[in-house]
């Protein structure tokens, strides 16, 4: 009997913090594509955000672990945070391909990030290493002009108008992020006083 190739989703992100938009998108793609596993990959230093303050990679990694711990098919990889220098998706995919040479990789990305794909380096090799799954994201139109037809599938995920930027702004302003991020992530943010506001709170 022929062995079914392992199908692995790859969800890259800054995850500063991880929120329910990320988790719903990963869960939906996992179900629609019958993925055996979804690997969350917190970025090291994302080159797109080089000019922004980003939380310590260990905090972002641990929040991602806390958020995904209960799901048996969600895992977290350190490949990007352990690689020195800026994070490029091509390196993420090369590393994961080396770790799982017999698996098909599905790179999951929101509408905003999909738009940037053509500006990434080594686009051709990227599409050889993974199939891309573009997911809807409120406030961002999915525009696939210029992307290879067979390399990208678009799917609609339940709309979650949540962004990490909004979560950080809310925490800094003293507004709740309960139910926007998993409970353990709310507690993690409080424990380490991440995203402090300007009022000395």
Residue among 62, 162, 59 at smallest CA distance from 110: 162
Q: At what angle do helices 57-68 and 20-32 cross, to 10 degrees?
A: 50
Minimum distance, C-beta of residue 4 to ligand ATP, in the bound complex (Å): 27
103 with 7: CB under 8 angstroms? yes
Place of tokens 């929120």: 19
The kind and range of the H/E element at 64 are: helix 57-68
Binding mask 141-170 for ligand ATP (x = CB under 6 A): -------------------x-xxxx-----
Please give the distance of CA 83 from its chain centroid, rounded to a whole number: 17
Does 60 bind ligand ATP (CB under 6 A)? Our answer is no
Binding mask 17-56 for ligand ATP (x = CB under 6 A): ----xx--x-------------------------------
Return the structure tokens found at 201. Answer: 């709170």
Binding mask 62-101 for ligand ATP (x = CB under 6 A): ----------------------------------------
Piece in contact with ligand ATP (CB under 6 A), picked from 82-90, 105-113, 174-182, 189-197: 105-113
Q: Which is nearer to ligand ATP, 162 or 186 (CB)?
A: 162
Residue 126 CB partners (closer than 8 Å, separation 6+): 89, 90, 93, 107, 117, 120
Candidates 10, 39, 96, 113: give the one binding ligand ATP (CB under 6 A): 113
Site of interaction with ligand ATP (CB under 6 A): 13-16, 21-22, 25, 109-110, 112-113, 135, 137, 160, 162-165
């Amino acid at each position: 009997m022929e062995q079914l190739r392992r199908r692995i989703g790859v969800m890259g992100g800054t995850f500063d913090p991880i929120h329910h938009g990320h988790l719903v998108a990963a869960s939906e793609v996992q179900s629609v594509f019958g993925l055996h596993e979804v690997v969350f990959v917190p970025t090291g230093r994302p080159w797109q955000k080089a000019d922004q303050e980003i939380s310590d990679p260990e905090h972002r990694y641990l929040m991602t672990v806390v958020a995904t711990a209960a799901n048996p098919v969600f895992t977290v990889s350190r490949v990007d945070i352990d690689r020195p220098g800026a994070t490029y998706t091509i390196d993420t995919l090369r590393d994961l391909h080396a770790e799982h040479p017999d698996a098909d990789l599905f790179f999951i990305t929101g509408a905003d990030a999909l738009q940037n794909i053509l500006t990434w380096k080594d686009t051709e090799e990227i599409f050889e290493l993974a199939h891309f799954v573009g997911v809807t994201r409120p406030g961002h139109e999915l525009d696939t002009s210029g992307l290879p037809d067979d390399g990208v599938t678009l799917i609609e995920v339940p709309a979650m108008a949540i962004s990490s930027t909004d979560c950080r702004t809310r925490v800094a302003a003293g507004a709740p992020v309960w139910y926007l991020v998993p409970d353990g992530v709310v507690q993690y943010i409080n424990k380490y006083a991440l995203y402090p506001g300007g009022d000395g709170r």
